[in-house]
Amino acid sequence: MTDRRRALVLLAFLTLIWGTNWPLFPLAVREVSVWTFRAVAVPVSGLVLLAIAAARGLPLAVPRADWPRLVAATLAYLVVWNIASTYAAVYLPSGQGAVLGFTMPLWAALISWLLLGERLSRRLLVALGLGLAAVALLMVPSFGAYANAPAGLAAGLIAAVGWAVGTLIIKHRPWQTQVLVLTGWQMILTAVPIIAGAAWLGDGRWFMPSWQSIAVIAYITLVPMCIGNVLWFAIVGLLPASVAGLSSIMVPVVAMVSGAIVHGEPLGPLQLAALACCVVSLRLALHKPAASS
């Protein structure tokens, strides 16, 4: 199986896992603060991943040369993303929060072009244009919600830029560390500032949430955070940064459908048109033209 086909299979699973995750955020923080939720989910997911890596016999030590880049990517992606994306999903309809967060491919492509000199082919530019059109179509029904929740709008865009920067740092050069171990350590590093933030901004008292909240937090911890992040870092390793970023653009469409099912959020012609744009955009981004003879 070629790298692109492998990436496409991984992407299908990632789209389902992350897309259905967004409507769960408001349920996860119904009884606890955003900071408390992440302070529980992030370190637990990191410990689970490192335990799985150890059980598989993978070395858990990270080479010294990888640590500076590991810390920088963690701060840019996981710390910023985990907090900002959750606030976006709380302040806005979950599907619309996902749309803002998943403008990441546009920021990644722009930063790659401006700072890294990555060439954008005509085909990829068209794919980016279609991705932007999909985002615009999904945002149209929610302009009122954005006007009423500027903090949600800002949080969604901050999450997207942080994710883009972190992805480019990860993609800058090959890692000596296995993906499973790399992801686990990133979660552990992320937990440090988030736990500190929870101690200052969290709930401030001890109480036992309902079993429904515990079940939702456990699911988000083990599936979207553990499995989803491992899949994402594997995809980033298989594709160029701009294409890897663009490949995730189907996630907000799934989030939109999930939000319609779980929360009764809007799903009509605009969302279906966005879906068509996403499908064509993905096809252009992932299709490798045949080499000329």
| Dist. CA 96–CA 99, nearest whole Å | 5
Checking 10-15 for CB contacts under 8 A at 24+ apart, the result is 10/231, 10/234, 10/235, 10/238, 11/231, 11/235, 11/247, 11/248, 11/250, 13/227, 13/231, 14/228, 14/231, 14/232, 14/235, 14/248, 14/251, 15/248, 15/250, 15/251, 15/254
pLDDT higher than threshold 60 for residue 218:
yes
Position 47 scores a pLDDT of 95
Residue 242: per-residue pLDDT: 57
**pLDDT bracket for residue 4 (50, 70, 90):** confident
Instruction: Kindly report which listed range (5-14, 98-107, 157-166, 182-191) carries the lowest average pLDDT score.
Output: 98-107
Q: Which of 27-31, 34-38, 41-45, 276-280 has the highest mean pLDDT?
A: 41-45
Give the global pTM. 0.74
Positive/negative CA dihedral, 16, 17, 22, 27: positive
> Taking 70 as the threshold, does the pLDDT of residue 102 lie above it?
yes
Of the two residues 10 and 279, the one the predictor is more confident about is 10
Domain limits of the chain? Answer: 3-286
Where residue 94 falls among pLDDT bands split at 50, 70, 90? low
The predicted pLDDT at position 291 comes to: 47
Question: Which residue matches tokens 């319609």?
Answer: 260
What local confidence, expressed as pLDDT, does residue 243 receive?
65
Q: What is the pLDDT of residue 83?
A: 86
What's the mean pLDDT in 129-153? Answer: 73
Give pLDDT tens digits for 251-284.
Answer: 777 887 888 787 777 677 877 787 788 778 777 7
Q: How far apart are the first and last CA of the chain?
A: 23
* Model pLDDT for residues 173-186, shown as the tens digit of each residue: 777 888 889 889 99
- The share of the chain scoring above pLDDT 90, in percent, equals 16
pLDDT, mean of residues 40-69: 91
